[in-house]
Structure 1
Amino acid sequence: MLRVFKTPEKRLGSAPGTLHEESADFGFLAACTSYNEDVFEHSSCDTVEACIEAIGREGTINWLNVTGDAIHGVLREIGRKLNVHDLVLEDIQNASQPLKFEEYDNFVFIVVKSLMYSHIREDFIIADTKILVGENYVITFSAEPVPMYLKLFKRLSQKNTKLRKLGVPYLLFALLDALSDGSYETLNRIIDIMEDLEGTVQENFQDFDVAEIYRIKQLMGHAKRSLWRYMEIINSIKVSDYMDIPDDVLPYYKDLEDHYKHMRDIVESVHATATDMFNLYVSLNGQQMNEVMKVLTIFSAIFIPLTFIAGLYGMNFQNMPELAKPWGYPAVLGLMTAVAGAMLVYFRRKKWF
């Protein structure tokens, strides 16, 4: 989990605003959707030039969605065309950024986080989404595909919808809402996993996957800290002079704020449950260890006097009358048996086993 906070070594010591070429597995994928009330165009942008041309279309709202890590070329051209500050471009390229809302003269830069399942890492992650919002465009950057965007594309393709009529502020809301829905979907999957783990820890805790619950505990702790700042981001959008949210769109942001408050409550509950399950496992494991130690201690306690008796009669003194008697050996065995039996009865009455 801590790897998400690491800074690549080649970026350390670089000048602020420096873009670095990344060695990504799949480069970048980009798709542009241009629309207004009457027009809808959706196309893939296979080159940097196509991406730049897409966000420069006039008379439509343009949404450019860029996916992948190797986006240095796209960023340089976007920065040149839209006059985006180098520090913003660097923040877009860096893998993990804190939530932020930055308002500039000609655009707004937003960083948000969402829960999702990474098919690359094959694990649940908290993914960054970086968003540039301009007068007639929205550009989203993410390291991996966001499944909920597909539903958003479908809604955009339908005529006479609010998404086609209410402009950039509503598109930004729809994107944040899609990320929220994706986080809810991921939370449901995590809750299903935890229910299975909860049954395991109660029925047979030895088969309990403590590593899995520890990962979930860490993930929820990170998500909880991130969600606390969502209210600040949404409030910044609502009062932004550049965004100038219309009155008919403002209620949707208030509803989005309620969604994130609800999600925060769920995350806190899941985190608390994961912590309780982890502590329960530690407690049960310690209890089992105590039972093992109790049995070993009882055996040790029984053999202490038996060892003393055996050691006593194992001394090679000449004047030990019992050694010469025919009943000496059976008598010593009987004494040992009596001592062991008496100790077992005593331990049993004390309910030590």
Structure 2
Amino acid sequence: MKPIDITRPDKLLLQGIKTLSTLGQSLYSNKKSEAKAKAELTFIGQKKMDEVQSQLYEFDADSLDIKEDLTSFQFLKEPVKSKVYWLNFHGIHDVPMVQKVGKSARLDRLTIRQILDTTQRPKVEDYEDHLFFSVKSIAKKEELEVEQLSFVLGSSFAISFQEEIGDHFDGIRNKLVEGLGFIRKRGSDYLLSQLLDGILDNYFETIDQTNAEIALIEKVVISDPDKSTLIVLEKHKQNAQVIKKALGPFKEALNNLMNGDTKLIKPTNLKYFKDLNNSAAAAMEEIEATLRTLEGLTNICFASQSQKMNETMKVLTTVATIFIPLTFIAGIYGMNFDNMPELHHPYGYYYTWGVMGAIFVAMLIYFRVKKWI
């Protein structure tokens, strides 16, 4: 950099303007780079599969065609009017694949970003030509497992995204293959209601399984609780809190859907979503009842341990109280004084034992009458 001639104020001012301009351009360039980095789509969550798997169920009332591991999604752009398409993905960490699906289904960038984010809160968002719905699914295996699922509903298609293979929709697949019920006779909105109903069924199964385990623990709590019982109760309480935390936003999203006015849910199928909302409310009541039961069992456990401690202290206090006068007598006659007539009495030893025994029996009778023991 050339030295500034401080004898020329005009040059000094010009040099300052050029310096500020350079700094401004540098800051703008840095902010632009940061904004570009933030705008890049990335997968947020835990990768649970190496390869993405996809399944397509193309059906109407009379036919069903199943395809797997698709590479083209042109049918989302140009669907056959008489057909309904269910596209399911296991694994959503492949960002280019999700972008490709989003482009074919004409999804906006925000929807694609929300699909790729498996840590977000369950929600429902209504757009002009599609409906986005995200939920948390609960499954009880060795441990309680929580999974994020996203759905996109179009006029003739439903797309489901999940990061791992689960058994949420096996019943729906069987109905499609066997042609049972109305699932192949109604539109994509009815299909979405059935998919959400499958997730709610998992909630009920998990809650029922938890309640069955709590019923077994309840017998232990009533009979002989210990420290391990408290640990098990606390574990179930944490699981119940997780279920409630996942179920609450799910219920809220269904309620928002009922209060909205989306064009993608036909009036004839709206009743199924209302039934889902009622089921979610019932599940919430069940898990709250489970939490109350766990809280009550915890209180019983603490009360039982406190009662055991009180019983132990009562026994120790009784023994100590009985031996206080006996120790007093023994202390008096254990003093080394010559002038103690009883020490020289031929039966003094037996008299002392008799007095001490009488005191012992009298105190036991007194405690029994007072119902202290």
> TM-score, normalising length from structure 1?
0.78
Q: Give, as a single letter, the amino acid of the residue that structure 2 aligns with 1:63.
A: W
Which whole-Å deviations, capped at 9, do the CAs of 1:271-292 have from their partners, x for residues lacking one? 2222222222222222122212
Distance 1:210 1:239, change over 3 A: same
Aligned twin of 1:276? 296
Work out which of the residue numbers 325, 331, 345 in structure 2 matches 1:305: 325
Q: State yes or no: 1:33 paired with 2:57.
A: yes
Q: What is aligned with 1:344?
A: 364
Q: Distance in 2 between matches of 1:44 and 1:138?
A: 16
1:113 aligns with 2:136: yes
Query: Which one of the candidate residues 76, 79, 92 is aligned to 1:58?
Result: 79
Query: Is 1:190 matched with 2:190?
Result: no
Amino acid at match of 2:59: Y
How far the C-alpha of 1:79 sits from its partner, in A, is 4.9
Report the Cα offset of residue 81 of structure 1. Answer: 5.1
* Residues 211-259 of structure 1, C-alpha deviations (whole Å, 9 max, x = no match): 3333333333443455444443224334555543112111212222222
Q: Once the 2 structures are TM-superposed, how far is the Cα of residue 193 of structure 1 from its aligned partner?
A: 1.9
C-alpha distance in structure 1 between counterparts of 2:338 and 2:108, whole Å? 101
Please list, as runs of the form range in 1=range in 2, the aligned pairs for 1:1-353 lying within 5 A after superposition: 15=38, 19-20=42-43, 24=47, 26-27=49-50, 28-45=52-69, 50=71, 58-59=79-80, 60-68=83-91, 70-72=93-95, 74-79=97-102, 82=105, 84=107, 88-89=111-112, 91-118=114-141, 122-159=142-179, 161-206=181-226, 209-238=229-258, 240-353=260-373
Contact 1:22 1:69 in 2 (8 A): no
Deviation at 1:15, TM superposition (A): 4.7
Take 2:343 and 2:53, find their aligned partners in 1: how far apart are those partners?
93
The alignment covers a number of residue pairs equal to 334
Give me the whole-angstrom Cα distance separating, in 2, the residues matched to 1:64 and 1:342. Answer: 87
C-alpha distance in structure 2 between counterparts of 1:152 and 1:44, whole Å: 17
Please list the CA deviations of residues 316-348 of structure 1 after superposition, one character each: whole Å capped at 9, or x if unmatched.
445444444444443433333333222222111
Distance 1:291 1:162, change over 3 A: same
* Structure 2 CA distance for aligned equivalents of residues 205 and 331 of structure 1: 48
Cα–Cα, structure 1 residues 286 and 90, in superposed 2: closer, same or farther, change >3 Å?
farther
In the aligned structure 1, how far is the partner of 2:349 from the partner of 2:39?
Answer: 89
Contact kept in structure 2, 1:238 and 1:245, CA below 8 Å:
no
Shift in alpha-carbon separation, 1:303–1:55, aligned structure 2, 3 A? farther
Q: Distance in 1 between matches of 2:165 and 2:291?
A: 26
Distance 2:313 2:104 in 1: 72
- Segments of 5+ residues of structure 1 without an aligned counterpart are 1-13
Against the structure 1 CA distance between its residues 307 and 63, is the aligned structure 2 distance closer, same or farther, given a 3 Å change threshold? farther
Cα distance, 1:258–1:242 mapped onto 2, change above 3 Å? closer
3-state SS of 2:268 partner: coil
Q: 1:19 to 1:330 in 2, by over 3 A?
A: farther
SS across alignment from 2:184: helix
- Which range moved further: 65-74 or 295-304? 65-74
* Cα separation, 2, equivalents of 1:249 and 1:194: 38
8 Å CA contact retained: 2:45, 2:119: no
Assess if the C-alpha contact under 8 Å between 1:30 and 1:51 holds in 2.
no
- CA distance 1:313–1:146, shift in 2 (3 Å): same
2:38, 2:348 → 1: CA distance?
92
Residue in 1 that maps onto 2:33: none
User: Contact 1:91–1:97 at 8 Å: present in 2 too?
Assistant: yes
Q: 1: distance between equivalents of 2:346 and 2:178?
A: 106
Using the aligned pairs only, state the percent identity: 29
Larger CA deviation: 64-73 vs 100-109: 64-73
- For residues 104 and 282 of structure 2, the distance between their equivalents in structure 1, rounded to whole angstroms, comes to 39
CA distance in 2, matches of 1:87, 1:325: 105
1:274 is paired with a residue whose SS is helix
* Cα distance per residue 1:33-71 (max 9 Å; x no partner): 2323344233442xxx63857866732433233335755
CA displacement at 1:175 relative to structure 2? 0.6
Residue-by-residue CA offset, 1:169-217 (whole Å, 9 max, x unaligned): 1111111111122222222222322222233333444598333333333
Cα contact 2:95–2:116 (8 A) shared by 1: yes
Aligned to 2:14: none
Q: Secondary structure at 1:268's aligned position in 2?
A: helix
| Residue type of the alignment partner of 1:112 | V
Checking the alignment, whether the CA contact within 8 Å between 2:88 and 2:160 is kept in structure 1 is yes
Give the C-alpha shift of residue 350 in structure 1.
1.1
Residue 134 (structure 1) shift: 3.4
Which residue is 2:23 aligned to? none
